[in-house]
Chain A
């Protein structure tokens, strides 16, 4: 402490407000997911009637898509950092595509569960916890996709340049968070809970 310079002014650096805010948001969101995950784990096997988690198929393809979208978004971050807007746009579009594939996969899974297995959010406790947890995550994917698409539109309009790197990186943090949450949800719902 005594080594603190009295004139700290010369190279006065502060953390980026965007990063601080995004990390704060992620901490808050993590708490929401924690509550839903805890509820899911606590209620495993407590349903008194109706379908059980055995009807679930493990969505490997979906998972691979979503997780690889984290890689493609890192590549797009690197591209914009170096000012390669074309590469950035390509990797960014791939990220969106992978996200959409994930959502479509979830939609098909839910359709099968609802129409052939008769599992809805009101059919039993398992349905309630399953749809609310996976649905909460899917909601975050949708919000992320809306934001990614906005950036994509701005890129196609030629509005995104190298100077926006930091903003892109902050937005990517959110997408990484959505992916990381999926690892937890996937493990709890499809590996542990089944």
Chain B
């Protein structure tokens, strides 16, 4: 603004005002407390890091495509798989769920903003700077010869590898501090989602009328409160060990490396449920809209989600079967892990029952959600296999485990969030994404995904351990690894198609209108993109599908819904 009060002579004037306008526009994004703008910031930030972490994955796959490869140095290889895991979980996964949560929870419950808009902005910037701090380690984390060095301790960072003696320099500190900083951001975002969903609902939006996406965000945020904080506590302990000479994980002084494992996985396992629960929410919205049927068994879906969140808190040590726990602990964690299969089974059956007899439209969001159903089932089945302790003794830390969790995180989480992008892009931007490019994206990603991760199961069962830099040519893993790498590149091409689709549709896509999918939740009653403060008048809701009631006044849901 200050620039505009000083008149500039000559041709510079026009140039100046354009740059001033640009500055003002950028400034408006930095100071914004609007939940929609912050939601977009979260999502864009997540997509940028998705590309970065994806590029790291591609470098890893080039390195592993053929035996005795030297595409990456061993040090860089360790840094890349550490950063790939850390980035995907904390900077892509968590920011995607809170991005969509931020944008759509207030809209779906009929509120004008989040409960605490300024806390919301604070949370985003904490998360953002946490991510920048992590990536600054590439240039700032004093490694050998003054070069930067990124963390190379794997994303679960077992002690004593993180001790000062084994991880000199600052790369490990960057890792711990970045996760503490972004952890506070996540905590703030979770509190905000909970307060919004409980205290900002419009008239008539009782808890059992909330859209399932909101419910799943509530459950995931509740879980976040009790699982991100243990990670923060463990990171504080690690920092105390590294900076103040503490002995938490120092086995020489009586400390224990196993305690770190427990603390990390008390965070680490529920964390994947925190990620997958909002993905379930997206699937629940997309599947009912594109099957043209109300969701089957809404109360059971809610109960199953809460059940998953509770059971997920008692399963962490199935990551630790090989460290030699007592047989009682092994049995307990094996059984509790298998229990997760019950509520997730309920959900899968309900989704299928929703599709059953529906008039299914296979638009891109529905394609992604249908693939999700199948892939999530496979992921659950390998999960139950790995929950059997003796099976895990055989396959622990092999590529079978990598295949299993990429089936949940890529095959389920990422597929659902791609569905969310295609489903909600028209609402956020006001333009449709290209269906043609969307289909290309889906089929390439689907084929690439199965080439990569189906094959990984076999290479794992043939004994290939995770996190290895290279392998001998006589192990019988050569062809399989080449297939895995090729599949990875097909997925990369698919993601680039998505990026092109987003850019192109942002500029030239056909206008979407308020409600392109003929959907039923409140966000589709607003213009696309929604105006500031969302609703001109506070909406009033009488059923779980308020827009259905408006569109079908002779046959409204509230007549039948109990």
User: Does B255 contact A31, Cβ atoms closer than 8 Å?
Assistant: no
User: Does B232 contact A32, Cβ atoms closer than 8 Å?
Assistant: yes
| Total contacts A-B at CB 8 Å | 131
At the interface, yes or no: B254 with Cβ under 8 Å from chain A?
Answer: yes
Q: Please count how many residues in chain B sit with their CB below 8 Å of the partner chain's CB atoms.
A: 49
- Write 11 A-B pairs (CB below 8 A) sorted by A numbering: A4-B208, A6-B558, A9-B204, A21-B115, A21-B192, A24-B190, A34-B230, A43-B256, A121-B240, A122-B244, A125-B248
Identify which of A15, A28, A35, A132 contacts B246 (C-beta below 8 A): A132
Cβ-closest chain B residue relative to A12: B203
User: Which A residues touch B292, using CB under 8 A?
Assistant: none
Identify which of A6, A17, A24, A35 contacts B230 (C-beta below 8 A): A35
Q: How far is the CA of A32 from the CA of B226 in the complex (A)?
A: 8
Identify which of B208, B230, B244 contacts A32 (C-beta below 8 A): B230
User: Does A35 contact B203, Cβ atoms closer than 8 Å?
Assistant: no
Give chain B's interface residues, CB within 8 Å of chain A.
Answer: 115-116, 187, 190-192, 194-196, 198-201, 203-204, 206, 208, 222, 225-230, 232-234, 236-237, 240-241, 244-248, 250, 252-256, 259, 263, 266, 540, 542, 558, 562
Q: Which of A16, A28, A30 is packed against the most chain B CB atoms within 10 Å?
A: A28
User: Which A residues touch B225, using CB under 8 A?
Assistant: 24, 27-28, 31
At the interface, yes or no: A95 with Cβ under 8 Å from chain B?
Answer: no
Q: How far is the CA of A141 from the CA of B420 in the complex (A)?
A: 43
User: Does B230 contact A121, Cβ atoms closer than 8 Å?
Assistant: no
**Chain A interface size, under 10 / 10 to 19 / 20 to 34 / 35 or more:** 35 or more
Shortest distance from the beta carbon of B179 to any chain A beta carbon, whole Å: 14
Q: Residue-by-residue, is A101-139 near B (CB-CB < 8 Å gives 1, otherwise 0)?
A: 000000000000000000001101100110010001000
User: Does B226 contact A43, Cβ atoms closer than 8 Å?
Assistant: no
At the interface, yes or no: A25 with Cβ under 8 Å from chain B?
Answer: yes
User: Does B204 contact A12, Cβ atoms closer than 8 Å?
Assistant: yes
User: Does A122 contact B246, Cβ atoms closer than 8 Å?
Assistant: yes
User: Does A21 contact B195, Cβ atoms closer than 8 Å?
Assistant: yes
Q: Residue-by-residue, is A1-32 near B (CB-CB < 8 Å gives 1, otherwise 0)?
A: 11010111100101111101100110111111
Q: How far is the CA of A25 from the CA of B224 in the complex (A)?
A: 11
User: Which B residues touch A18, using CB under 8 A?
Assistant: 195
Cβ-closest chain A residue relative to B232: A32
User: Does A121 contact B190, Cβ atoms closer than 8 Å?
Assistant: no
User: Which A residues touch B250, using CB under 8 A?
Assistant: 125
At the interface, yes or no: A60 with Cβ under 8 Å from chain B?
Answer: no
